[in-house]
Structure 1
Amino acid sequence: MKVVAAYLLAALGGNAAPGEADIKKILSSVGVEADAERVQKLLSELEGKDVIAAGISKLASVPSGGAVAASGGAAAAAGGAAPAEEKKEEKVEEEEDEDMGFSLFD
Structure 2
Amino acid sequence: MKHLAAYSLLVLAGNAAPTAAQVEKLLKDVGVASNKEDLDAMIKALNGKKLHDLVRDGSKKLASVPSGGAVAVSAPVAATGAPAAAPKKEEKKEEEAADVDMGGLFGDDY
Match of residue 53 from structure 1: 53
Q: What TM-score, normalized by structure 2, do the two folds share?
A: 0.50
Match of residue 40 from structure 2: 40
Residues 51-74 of structure 1: CA deviation (Å, up to 9, x unaligned): 113324665896xxxxxxxxxxxx
Extract structure 1 runs of 4+ deviating beyond 6 A. Answer: none
2:47 aligns to what SS in structure 1? coil
Amino acid at match of 1:49: K
Counterpart CA distance in 1 for 2:37 and 2:60 is 33
Tell me: higher relative CO, structure 1 or 2? Use CA pairs within 8 A at least 6 residues apart. 1
Say if 1:57 and 1:25 are closer, same or farther in 2 by CA, change over 3 A. Answer: same
Say if 1:92 and 1:24 are closer, same or farther in 2 by CA, change over 3 A. Answer: farther
Indicate the structure with greater helix content.
1
Gaps of 5+ in 1: 63-90, 95-106
| Cα drift, residue 36 of structure 1 | 0.9
Q: What TM-score, normalized by structure 1, do the two folds share?
A: 0.52
Which of the two has higher C-alpha Rg?
2
Counterpart CA distance in 2 for 1:93 and 1:26 is 57
Amino acid at match of 1:93: A
Task: Please provide the CA RMSD for this pair.
Answer: 2.8
Gaps of 5+ in 2: 64-95, 100-110
